[in-house]
Amino acid sequence: MASHANRLIISRLTPTTTSRCYSTPTALTVTKGKEDSLFRKLSALGYGGSGSDAAVADTLDEWVKQGKSIKRFDIISCVNHLRKFKKYHHAIQLYEWMEKGKNKMNNADRAIRIDLLAKANGVASAEKYFNSLEGSAKTMKTYGALLSTYCKEKMLDKAIELFEKMKELSFTSALNYNNMMSLYLNLGQPEKVPSLVKEMEEMNIAADKYTYNQLMNSYASLNDVNAVEEVLETMKTKKVIPDWFTYGNLATIYVNAGLIDKANDVLEKLEDEDMLNGLDRETFHTLITLYARTSNLLGVNRAWVSLKLTFAKPNNVSYLIMLLALFKLENVDGLEKCFAEWESGCSTYDVRLANIILESYLNRNMIEEANALYESVVSRGVQPNLRTLNLFTSYYLKKQQMDLALKFFEIGVSKMSSEKSNWFPTDETVSMFLKYFEEEKDTESAEKFCEIMKKIGRLESNASVSQLQTCIAAGKVGTLKLRRCSI
């Protein structure tokens, strides 16, 4: 349930919604094979950059030349698939091809195109397209799409200006209000949300479950749990039935407020078979995570059993969530048993799961077991990731085994450069190195550390590391005091 504000920018442009707008279930069933085949051809084009324009058009033209028709719902279905896989440029070119043919764009298509342009080319591109539309094409859908873009990009001034214009045009809806609420929550202005809900009531715009969930989140941010609970009662009064998402949100609020008993009461309600029926794996993941946050091992295990009964085989992500929960609860036996179960049956080895066990071993100074697991991972042909290397670097720093710390540190830096990642080493790890040099006066290791940091451009960006290099050059590592070195 983390970051509800981000998840509650509810777009009218979801694939499910658009497919409902353009075709019937029967039509989709009849053309499914054709859609899949056409989608595969478009997907094979690779990255959908601006250079792919001709390739998309050529693929579609060739399809038609072969005597195969491309109907409106074929295009819409392919657009939805391409959006799902973030091939926004290809989806845009599909719409352009459609527009040049017999199929005309409608307002929903234009709204989706605004969303695609913003994601592919930036907000300015979406604005340019919106401004180019004729007056009759500037509808609630297209205005709403542009507003959604502003809200996602946290462009408050533009969002407010556009929203006021939409009010003048009577283009308001629960969706648009929800987007504005989400924007305020993301910008740390929860106090603005209740007034928007009140405004909806005055304009006779019915609040939906997303509205109420964001209102709950706003009160939670304002530390008013009583008001949160009142929102739940209001939902029942207004016959907006609280669902799993709402109760999960409430449980999260209780956990964050330290109201563990109340959180557990709500979580147990969420375990009801009717509440869980038809929900996806993520629902169970949320339940496991929340139970772990309340230190409720029994609840974690019940949720895990329910997940395994619902889905024939837990996937890697499910095992990852469970291992994280057991790690948090320091349930060593359960942790090792769960890991062994996953490792014995996994089809794809995920080093993230091994890292959890590694960290558990290292926290308990079980270095032999940690090294054995590390070697086991490598023997499978799996590359340790940056987190693996950071774990060993930190461990050896704590043990003041600088040679080994620098060994894993250097491997990590090399891997980071090849992967074009920039988070390694963590600030905490850098601080541990600096503390060691300050206390142990190890000039040789300090010089090697600075050389490595220089390779990744982190020497000048960290004042303390830069200071360390200055002291090395002055021959004063022996008297180094972080942030107080004078030469």
Q: Are 182 and 5 in contact (CB under 8 A)?
A: yes
- What is the pTM assigned to this prediction? 0.80
Q: Are 174 and 215 in contact (CB under 8 A)?
A: no
Q: What is the pLDDT of residues 22-61, one digit of tens each?
A: 222 222 333 444 445 776 777 766 654 444 555 887 888 8
Q: What is the mean pLDDT of the chain?
A: 85
Q: How far apart are CA 289 and CA 327, in angstroms?
A: 11
> Has residue 474 got a pLDDT over 70?
no
> Has residue 189 got a pLDDT over 60?
yes
Lowest-pLDDT range, 29-33, 158-162, 247-251, 290-294?
29-33
Q: What is the mean pLDDT of residues 439-452?
A: 86
The reported pLDDT for the residue numbered 32 is 45
Residue type, 426: T
What's the token pair of residue 290? 């929340």
Confidence of residue 417 (pLDDT cuts 50, 70, 90): confident
> Has residue 77 got a pLDDT over 90?
no
> Which comes out higher in pLDDT, residue 423 or 130?
130
Task: Give the 3-state secondary structure of residue 352.
Answer: helix
Long-range pairs of 218-226 with CB within 8 A, sequence gap ≥ 24: 218/181, 218/184, 218/185, 218/190, 218/191, 218/192, 218/193, 218/194, 219/190, 219/194, 220/253, 220/256, 220/257, 221/185, 221/190, 222/190, 222/191, 223/257, 225/253, 225/254, 225/257, 225/259
The reported pLDDT for the residue numbered 237 is 95
Q: How far apart are CA 412 and CA 398, in angstroms?
A: 18
The reported pLDDT for the residue numbered 3 is 42
Give the position of tokens 């504000």.
5
Q: In percent, how much of the chain has pLDDT > 70?
A: 84
> Has residue 5 got a pLDDT over 60?
no
> Has residue 358 got a pLDDT over 80?
yes
Q: What is the pLDDT of residues 260-316, one digit of tens each?
A: 999 999 999 999 877 887 788 999 999 999 999 999 999 999 999 999 999 989 999
Confidence of residue 74 (pLDDT cuts 50, 70, 90): confident
Highest average pLDDT, of 75-89, 111-125, 427-441, 451-465, comes from: 111-125
Q: What is the mean pLDDT of residues 124-152?
A: 96
